[in-house]
């Protein structure tokens, strides 16, 4: 697979071999480059999201008073109303008022400028179109009291990473493989058009195999861009142009080889 990777990037003649290789090898290469994209994307995600997760849970551990859920009610170590606002996202704010028992209205949440409101017996979360989702805590049946304190948030951050990262890796791999395979269908149509211009007689299946390999450099470019601290303008268009150039070179290489074979036969 490493040889195919290098050939996809640096050798137009390698595309003659790609056009004639077995379908199983093309599928294996598809999974290989999807795995590379997954590894690179997962590392970039961890570098970007990991510090944000740690910072958010550290903020919660420091700011949220100790809460105790028991018998369908919530009590706090600080019964006074407390508004929590994320230090880097002011629009993300929560009100904790465990002394309150009366229902919270939409206007109350708007006045407090919060997205969630925790009272003695309910949790209110603002939804779209000015609606509130109400979670009645009095109906929650807990076998024993649950304490939410600094240790809880520390453990929650670790558990979140253990669950989210593996799921994210699997999701990225499936998405990368599916998207590359689907994009290859579109690029195959483009390759047919290029072949009609530049000459060549490759069947659609061979063009599809070429299209899988032609996306290699664009995928590697995507990996590199995911590590950059800024967004690359028109990155989608850039990857399309890169792949199209490789398709054109691949079609030309196969057309030249076919023409040379016809000439030698004569």
Of 131, 107, 135, residue with least CA distance to 119: 135
Question: Please, are residues 97 and 165 in contact by the beta-carbon 8 Å criterion?
Answer: no
Q: Are residues 244 and 169 in the same domain?
A: yes
Strands 93-96 and 122-126 come out as: unpaired
Q: Are residues 47 and 74 in the same domain?
A: no
Residue 266 confidence class, pLDDT cut points 50, 70, 90:
low
Q: Are residues 43 and 73 in the same domain?
A: no
> Tens digit of pLDDT for each residue in 23-56?
889 999 999 999 988 888 888 877 877 787 788 8
Domain boundary among 86, 119, 148: 148
> Per-residue pLDDT for 141 more than 70?
no
How close are the terminal C-alpha atoms of the chain, in Å?
37
237 HSE (CA, 13 A, CB side): 3
Q: Are residues 144 and 167 in the same domain?
A: no
Answer yes or no: is 58 within a domain. Answer: no
Query: How is residue 100 written in tokens?
Result: 């309150």
> Per-residue pLDDT for 126 more than 80?
yes
Phi-psi region at 94: left, alpha or beta (left = phi > 0; alpha = psi -120 to 50): beta
Query: What is residue 62's predicted lDDT score, i.e. its pLDDT?
Result: 84
What does each C-alpha distance from 198 to 9, 37, 117, 127, 190 come to in angstroms? Answer: 21, 32, 65, 56, 12
Residue 57 confidence class, pLDDT cut points 50, 70, 90:
confident
> Per-residue pLDDT for 94 more than 80?
yes
105 HSE (CA, 13 A, CB side): 3
Question: Please, are residues 19 and 29 in contact by the beta-carbon 8 Å criterion?
Answer: no
Question: In the 3-class helix/strand/coil scheme, how is 163-188 assigned residue by residue?
Answer: HHHHHHHHHHHHHHHHHHHHHHHHHH
Q: What is the pTM of this model?
A: 0.67
Question: Please, are residues 157 and 51 in contact by the beta-carbon 8 Å criterion?
Answer: no
Query: What is residue 59's predicted lDDT score, i.e. its pLDDT?
Result: 83
Query: What is residue 260's predicted lDDT score, i.e. its pLDDT?
Result: 63
Query: What is residue 261's predicted lDDT score, i.e. its pLDDT?
Result: 59
Average pLDDT of span 194-222: 86
Query: How is residue 128 written in tokens?
Result: 């779209």
Lowest mean pLDDT among 54-58, 130-134, 199-203: 199-203
Helices 235-265 and 204-214, interaxial angle, to 10°? 130
Q: Regarding predicted confidence, which is higher, 205 or 143?
A: 205
Domain that holds residue 46: 2-51+161-265
Question: Please, are residues 96 and 118 in contact by the beta-carbon 8 Å criterion?
Answer: yes
> Tens digit of pLDDT for each residue in 61-70?
888 888 888 8
Domain boundary among 148, 169, 201: 148
Query: What is residue 50's predicted lDDT score, i.e. its pLDDT?
Result: 76
Q: Are residues 165 and 231 in the same domain?
A: yes
Query: What is residue 170's predicted lDDT score, i.e. its pLDDT?
Result: 87
> Per-residue pLDDT for 262 more than 80?
no
Residue 183 confidence class, pLDDT cut points 50, 70, 90:
very high
Q: Regarding predicted confidence, which is higher, 153 or 45?
A: 153
Q: Are residues 42 and 71 in the same domain?
A: no
Q: Are residues 144 and 166 in the same domain?
A: no
Q: Are residues 117 and 244 in the same domain?
A: no
Cα(95)–Cα(170) distance, rounded to whole angstroms? Answer: 36
Backbone angles phi, psi at 235, to 5 degrees: -65, -35
Q: Are residues 86 and 178 in the same domain?
A: no
Strands 116-118 and 93-96 come out as: parallel
Q: Are residues 124 and 166 in the same domain?
A: no
In terms of C-beta density within 10 A (0-12 exposed, 13-18 middle, 19 or more buried), how is residue 80 classed?
exposed
Answer yes or no: is 154 within a domain. Answer: no
Answer yes or no: is 57 within a domain. Answer: no
Query: Number of structural domains, the chain?
Result: 2
For all residues of the chain together, what is the average pLDDT?
Answer: 84
């Amino acid at each position: 697979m490493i040889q195919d990777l290098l050939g996809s990037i640096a050798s137009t003649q390698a595309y003659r071999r790609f056009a004639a290789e077995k379908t199983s090898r093309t599928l294996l290469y598809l999974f290989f480059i999807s795995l590379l994209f997954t590894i690179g994307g997962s590392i970039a995600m961890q570098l970007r999201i990991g510090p944000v997760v740690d910072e958010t849970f550290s903020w919660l551990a420091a700011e949220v008073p100790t809460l105790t859920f028991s018998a369908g009610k919530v009590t706090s170590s600080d019964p006074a109303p407390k508004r929590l606002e994320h230090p880097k996202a002011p629009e993300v704010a929560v009100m904790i008022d465990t002394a309150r028992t009366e229902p919270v209205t939409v206007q109350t949440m708007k006045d407090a400028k919060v997205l969630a409101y925790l009272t003695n017996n309910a949790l209110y979360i603002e939804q779209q179109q000015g609606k509130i989702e109400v979670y009645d805590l009095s109906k929650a049946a807990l076998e024993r009291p649950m304490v939410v304190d600094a240790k809880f948030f520390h453990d929650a951050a670790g558990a979140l990473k253990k669950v989210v990262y593996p799921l994210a890796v699997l999701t990225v791999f499936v998405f990368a493989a599916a998207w590359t395979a689907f994009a290859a269908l579109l690029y195959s149509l483009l390759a047919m058009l290029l072949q009609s211009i530049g000459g060549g007689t490759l069947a659609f299946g061979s063009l599809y195999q070429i299209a899988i390999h032609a996306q290699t450099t664009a995928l590697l470019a995507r990996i590199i861009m995911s590590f950059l601290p800024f967004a690359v303008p028109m990155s989608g268009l850039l990857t399309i142009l890169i792949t199209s150039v490789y398709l054109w070179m691949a079609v030309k290489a196969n057309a030249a080889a076919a023409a040379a074979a016809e000439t030698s036969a004569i």
